[in-house]
Structure 1
Amino acid sequence: AEILFERLGLPVVKRTKTGYSTDAEVLETLAAQHDLPRRCLEWRELAKLKSTYVDALPAAIHPRTGRLHTSFNQTVAASGRLSSSEPNLQNVPVRTTLGREIRKGFVASEEGWTLLVSDYSQIELRILAHLSGDAALVDAFRERQDIHRQTAALIFGVEPEKVNDLLRTRAKEVNFGVVYGMGPFGLARRLGIEQSEARAFIDGYFRRFPDVKRYQEDTIERVRQEGYVTTLLGRRRYLPEIHSKNWNVRSFAERAAINSPIQGTAADLLKIAMIRVHRRMAEEALPARMLLTVHDELVFEVEEESTGSLAELVREEMEAAIDLDVPVVVEIGTGTTWYDAK
């Protein structure tokens, strides 16, 4: 802080109780004015990767099996998703180029075996299309369009082929922001834009997908009446906070009401898929093992000669695990490391 603000004279973005703030948001703001804040961010990322993964994961390898053995928790996440602990293998980085390098350390356990990764494509948006019944959203998936490009075309009023990377990225954030009940403030922070612009994006989205807005409003009202939401498979999440007099608490409950049926259904779906895939693998005596689940993704190891058979089996069982009004799509990759397979 002393070097940044006193010696270099960079502007103070915000303060803490003890002095100048140098959190990630501040450093990202200052990086446009000097190279040092950017290098600080890089150093922090490297230090985090080293301590959390490069140093910690080898120490967690079981001495007899030579493997990492995580624990999956069924009843920790309110959404119903499985969580992972000791070590947590669901937070292995994927968002940054440097972070993704960590996945190169994960390999199949035997010579002649390889890794296979299967991933539900945009499953939460597909579930939203099913639950809301919005014709434009349903049609986009049925026609196998690039949903983020199509959303950009609709809310920004341009032809799909004229949607550039910036517009597609903004539309992607709007798509996923809507799933999580994100408002203008949250979207503005995600995109680094003014709240008024973020509000215009959200308003444009709901003009083009009006039944999504209706679905959200109806869901919140139903929670006020019944006190809970349900997934497509009938699992309930109770939200008594919906009646709180505290605006922040009540707003959290409203966002949870919007998201829980979507994320919860995705969680139910993946568990059903895991059961179906495991059963088929046993029936067909495939030389393969299911290793890991990370949100909408499953990781397997398989004898190289059986890779095609496993890929076909996994796609069939995962896509048949739930019946939606839009296609359920599974993407599959293979490779010698988790990085290559993903």
Structure 2
Amino acid sequence: KLVNPETGRIHTSFNQAVAATGRLSSSDPNLQNIPIRSEFGRRIREGFIPGRADRRLVSADYSQIELRILAHLSGDVQLKHAFFSDTDVHRRTAARIFGVAEEAVTPEMRRQAKAVNFGVVYGISPFGLARNIGISNAQAARFIEQYFAQYPGVRNWIDQTLETAKKNGYVTTLLNRRRYVPELNSSDAASRKAAERVAINTPVQGTAADVIKLAMIRLDEALKRTPTRLLLQVHDELLLETPAREADGVADLTKNIMENAIALDVPLRVDVAVGYHWAAIH
């Protein structure tokens, strides 16, 4: 019943003003929530194919865009250096919080460090981190402490962001889109803590939302007189359909537009892939 009788396709609706950070959301049906890591999810994605046999899907996915934006906003020297040198930032963080050499970092150490890196963007507490990765509160607190010791610029940026937000009543993205956070001055501690997490996360996630929208506008303009069509935006990923003979060129064009959507102090990186179904390009 979801298939449009005229086009023979499933069409989602994208919502501009539902997610408070500015990200697009998808509904009827939600095509931003198709599983990817499970075997069942991969089987579902195998069902997403081009409308014709002589066409291909192109996936273009920003790599660690939120951490790159955090590096730009905070100006942290070590974090910026990691992205300029194409260092595995999760491995580098793991080496610091576990006190080992980078070459001694195990996959499990890297997994936990990844949770720390992204958790900081969301203003995670030691309790929240402990629950997420199955460690003690004390160990989680040490991990966060070691993170800020390695990236002191991030700690300074968080403090300055909260101070400014409490004074102004709002935070902004890099493109000056505001989000008001009145609860920052609430007398209720729980409400205030939640507002602080919002104030930390919004400039980062909101800027990521702005950047991919800029890329979509420029990509749409570049593709107007071509048979290629932009199908989906799934947070940091764009999915396109194009004639098979043009797929590599479209992938290169998309990568170039996305990586140059905005000038940051660190390079943006986009991973591209071409395939016949959605599962084949992840």
Q: Which TM-score band (shorter chain)?
A: over 0.9
1:72 aligns with 2:47: no
Distance 1:101 1:318 in 2: 28
**Which residue does 1:317 correspond to in 2?**
257
User: What's 1:126 paired with?
Assistant: 68
- For 1:292, the aligned partner's letter is L
Deviation at 1:215, TM superposition (A): 0.6
**Could you tell me how far 1:127 is from its partner in structure 2?**
0.2
- 1:280 aligns to what SS in structure 2? helix
d(CA) in 2 for partners of 1:115 and 1:295? 17
The aligned counterpart of 2:248 is 308
Q: Cα offset for 1:118?
A: 0.3
* Partner residue in 2 for 1:101: 43
Number of residue pairs the alignment of both structures matches: 282
Q: Is the 8 A contact 1:138 1:325 kept in 2?
A: yes
Where does residue 289 of structure 1 map in the other structure? 229
Aligned match of 2:98: 156
Map of 1:43 onto structure 2:
none
Displacement of 1:334 in angstroms is 1.2
Distance, in Å, in 2 between the alignment partners of 1:95 and 1:314 is: 25
TM-score (norm 1): 0.81
Calculate the TM-score normalised by the size of structure 2.
Answer: 0.98
Task: State which of 226, 249, 260 in structure 1 corresponds to 2:191.
Answer: 249
Separation of aligned partners in 1, 2:195 and 2:264: 26
**How far apart are the structure 1 equivalents of 2:160 and 2:267?**
25
Distance in 1 between residues matched to 2:119 and 2:207, nearest whole Å:
18
Q: Distance in 2 between matches of 1:146 and 1:273?
A: 25
Deviation at 1:63, TM superposition (A): 1.6
Higher relative contact order (CA 8 A, sep 6+): 2
- 1:8-56 alpha-carbon deviations (Å, 9 max, x no partner): xxxxxxxxxxxxxxxxxxxxxxxxxxxxxxxxxxxxxxxxxxxxxxxxx
The 8 Å contact of residues 251 and 274 in structure 2, kept in 1 or not, is answered as: no
1:216 to 154, 158, 174: 158
Q: Secondary structure at the match of 1:291?
A: strand
TM alignment of 1:115-264, pairs within 5 A = 115-264=57-206
Q: 1:327 aligns with which of 257, 267, 274?
A: 267
Deviations along 1:57-106, one digit per CA (max 9) or x if unpaired, are xx311122110111100001000001111111111112433323211110
SS in 2 for 1:105: coil
Distance 1:227 1:146 in 2: 36
**What CA distance in whole angstroms lies between the structure 2 residues aligned with 1:231 and 1:114?**
35
- For 2:184, give the aligned amino acid: I
User: How big is the shift at 1:153?
Assistant: 1.4
Output one character per residue of 1:144-180: Cα deviation in whole Å (capped at 9) or x when no partner.
0111111111222221111110110011000000010
State the 1:196 CA deviation.
Answer: 0.8
Percent identity for Structure 1 against Structure 2: 52
Q: Which consecutive segments of 4 or more residues in structure 1 shift more than 3 A?
A: none
Distance 2:11 2:227 in 1: 20
Highest Rg: 1 or 2? Answer: 1
Q: Which runs of 5+ in 1 are unaligned?
A: 1-58
Alpha-carbon RMSD across the aligned residues, in angstroms, is 0.9
CA displacement 1:261-287 (0-9 Å, x = unmatched): 0000000001000011111112xx332
8 A Cα contact 1:108 1:336, kept in partner: yes
Retained in 2: the 8 A contact 1:228–1:237? yes
> Which residue of 86, 91, 112 corresponds with 2:33?
91
Find out whether 1:269 has 2:183 as its counterpart: no
Is the 2:13–2:28 Cα contact (8 Å) retained in structure 1? yes
Contact 1:286 1:310 in 2 (8 A): no
8 Å contact from structure 1 (residues 185, 195) kept in 2: yes
* Bigger mean CA offset, 240-249 vs 113-122: 240-249
Against the structure 1 CA distance between its residues 101 and 155, is the aligned structure 2 distance closer, same or farther, given a 3 Å change threshold? same
- The 1-side partners of 2:252 and 2:234 are apart by 20
Residue among 299, 311, 314 paired with 2:239: 299
Q: Which runs of 5+ in 2 are unaligned?
A: none
| Equivalence for 1:339 | 279
CA contact (8 A) 1:184 1:199 kept: yes
